[in-house]
Structure 1
Amino acid sequence: MHPITFSGVRKKGLMRWLALPFTLFKSTRQATSILKSIQPDAVLVMGGYVSVPTAIASFLKGIPLIIHEQNSIPGLANKLCSIFAHKVCYAFAGSFKGKTNNKYIHTGNPINHSLHTSIKTTSSKIKHSGFHILILGGSLGAKTINITIPQALAKLQEKVTQPLLITHQCGRNHLHETKQCYQQTSLYAENVDIIEFSDSLPDLYQQADMIVARAGAMSVAEINSVGCPALFIPYPHAVNDHQYHNAKNLQNNPQYAHLYAIIRDQQLTIDNACEKLYQLYKAIQQHPLDHMETKHLSATKNIVCIIEQTIAKNS
């Protein structure tokens, strides 16, 4: 770990922007010194403001630079870094519109390696007596999801004959509040498992018939890869509204558009959540998703190959 002194500028006020040339100069000198010390054969940056001085330093030192963009909408840092990059990897089709030369490569997102051995298609998932819904609010939780979805699921249970089996990851410090929300519904307590956080997502994915989640880049990539239908509720304050566009990228694919739904966080209500979930439920019964996206599964290997090829070409 080699720290450098730098900070973001978006939504940080005029003074931060005015100071940018000086802070960028200082951080680039620090990054240059670090690169001189460790002598890397290549530099890989994954976005975020700290990538910018590192990318500039690698360019000044003539070190091959590879960047990776995980979201559908490239961030400001990666847009700047792409100017200096030898190769630009990106996760979702259309991220760098109009960029068609071989510098830009659609690799997918490198997902958790444990998913590779646990992924099953819908038709071969663990069989159970009910319809299993997995709710993921992230490690910190999502209050609107925790409050609204329990009531929506209770209404959904009135519409379907299968018992709903629910696993709800509510986020740290939200356990008591989320339990109270479920206790106010007509759902059977024994069918509801509420957890703060899980390190066993592959197992949870494997059992799920449907998922409710935010639309962070890695969540979308993992859900798409395990072949599970989902209702996405994008985080409303994401930069460039990238979570919405991550989810929209899946919904725009005609292969499985009917098995992905989106509700804006500010438009989330009990009624429209229930309706979207019911539409997904019916779609799953009629046209189950029997395949998965393999792009993300091979992303790590592909990115490593690109790094190796870039080093070889520039050595």
Structure 2
Amino acid sequence: MLKIVITGGHATPALVVAETLRERGHKIYWFGEKRAHYGKSAPTLEYQIIPAMGIPFYSVISAKAHRGNFLKTLFSLWKLPVGLIHSLFMLLAVRPDVVLSFGSYVAVPVAVAAYILGIPVVTHEQTAVLGLANKIVGFFSKKIAVTFPASSRDFPPQKIVITGNPIRGGFFKAGKKGRRGKLVLFITGGSRGAQPVNKAVSEILPVLTKTYMVYHQVGLLDFDELAKKKDTSYQVVANYTPEKFEERLKCADLVVSRAGANTVLEIASVGVPAILVPIPWARGDEQSQNAKALADTGLALVLPEKELSGETLLSKIKYVTAHLKEFASCAVNAQNLSSPQASRKVADLVEEVAGGR
């Protein structure tokens, strides 16, 4: 049995690999953040889920670069040495055999501390565009698992293993849509919600519910306001568990979503037509690239946030609704983007690196 610390900001693929490793008999510890850094502070997805899974959760102190806010970034820098020392003590308490990182600034102090203590680090790069945090973590890593070959160019080739992005195995199995009076529209902005998408949906909700049964994952920040809208064809929730998210996606006729790598690959695996609204401030415009990859298969339309309004969103939804069969026929092309063996490959890599200490 290995003792494995998992850390990083991409919680969804990390949870999938954590389950794979636990099934193999390994002990998992989670080093993460309890609350988000940006916007109105809200609990992170991992803090809502991990303790309930029986996985020990350790809170990490980490610094973050705030785009366009030099003073806020400068103030955040004091957390660098504090976070490193804190991570050293946490790792000494746990004494893991290996650290598995899933990117983002929260992983940096943990990876550096592990390197200092001689604990091997494996990192997974989820997106096609490499961020600063993973460039730093990659330097201290023995092996780097990547989803897209394009993201390997910034690392020594001997460190790279192409694994794909881990997603829940259920996404590769046929869903049970059944027959209903209305089509099902699933709207999601990710675990923290997407306020511009929520606003646009709110403007056109009476029109949507005439045609669709709408399931809307709004995040915590907009939940109270949108929950006031009473309609039997509109179900609003702050967040779904991974299992419930999978169920909703597989039963949908159409999805409106942000374009994070994990969500895009889940949509591709299920083969459900989508309208993607990329986050415009994502590093390297990575979400636009993710959205383009799915749109190029014919399964999705892209709606830039600068063009997003109730009117433009409704226009896209009506178009896809009128051409559902044509979009659905592209599902096979889209499914080629995802890898059902990704979680197993990452778990194999972790065991290999831990065994070679």
**Pairs within 5 Å for 1:134-213:** 134-149=186-201, 163-172=211-220, 174=222, 177-178=225-226, 189-199=231-241, 200-213=244-257
Give distance in 1, aligned partners of 2:257 and 2:290: 12
Residue 165 of structure 1 deviates from its aligned partner by: 3.1
Find out whether 1:243 has 2:284 as its counterpart.
Answer: no
SS of match in other structure, 2:151: coil
- Native 8 Å contact 2:271 2:299 kept in 1: no
Query: Aligned residue for 2:124?
Result: 68
Count of residues paired in the alignment: 295
- Native 8 Å contact 1:107 1:295 kept in 2: no
Query: Aligned residue for 2:184?
Result: 132
Give distance in 1, aligned partners of 2:287 and 2:354: 33
Return the match for 1:215 from 259, 266, 272. 259
Give distance in 2, aligned partners of 1:143 and 1:9: 22
Give distance in 2, aligned partners of 1:85 and 1:5: 20
Length-normalised TM-score, structure 1: 0.76
The gaps in structure 2 that reach 5 residues or longer are 1-56
Give distance in 1, aligned partners of 2:59 and 2:130: 24
Give distance in 2, aligned partners of 1:42 and 1:6: 20
SS of match in other structure, 1:133: strand
Residue 210 of structure 1 deviates from its aligned partner by: 0.9
Return the match for 2:324 from 265, 268, 284. 284
Give distance in 2, aligned partners of 1:149 and 1:273: 8
Pick the structure with greater CA Rg.
Answer: 1
Return the match for 1:229 from 260, 273, 277. 273
Residue 120 of structure 1 deviates from its aligned partner by: 4.2
Residue 146 of structure 1 deviates from its aligned partner by: 2.6
- Native 8 Å contact 1:167 1:193 kept in 2: yes
CA distances 1:175-227 after superposition (whole Å, capped 9, x unpaired): 575478x88xxxxx544434444442222112101100122333223222222
Whose relative contact order is higher, 1 or 2, with alpha carbons under 8 Å and at least 6 apart? 1
- Native 8 Å contact 2:62 2:79 kept in 1: yes
Q: 1:64 to 1:281 in 2, by over 3 A?
A: same
The gaps in structure 1 that reach 5 residues or longer are 184-188
Query: Aligned residue for 2:303?
Result: 263
Give distance in 2, aligned partners of 1:26 and 1:174: 33
- Native 8 Å contact 2:145 2:161 kept in 1: yes
Q: CA RMSD in A?
A: 3.5
Give distance in 1, aligned partners of 2:198 and 2:72: 38
Give distance in 1, aligned partners of 2:220 and 2:60: 30
Give distance in 2, aligned partners of 1:142 and 1:15: 23
- Native 8 Å contact 1:168 1:195 kept in 2: yes
**Pairs within 5 Å for 1:96-111:** 96-97=152-153, 101-111=157-167
- AA aligned to 1:193 is Q
* Larger CA deviation: 302-311 vs 4-13: 4-13
- The sequence identity of aligned pairs, in percent, is 27
- Native 8 Å contact 1:227 1:293 kept in 2: no
Query: Aligned residue for 1:309?
Result: 352
Find out whether 1:299 has 2:342 as its counterpart.
Answer: yes
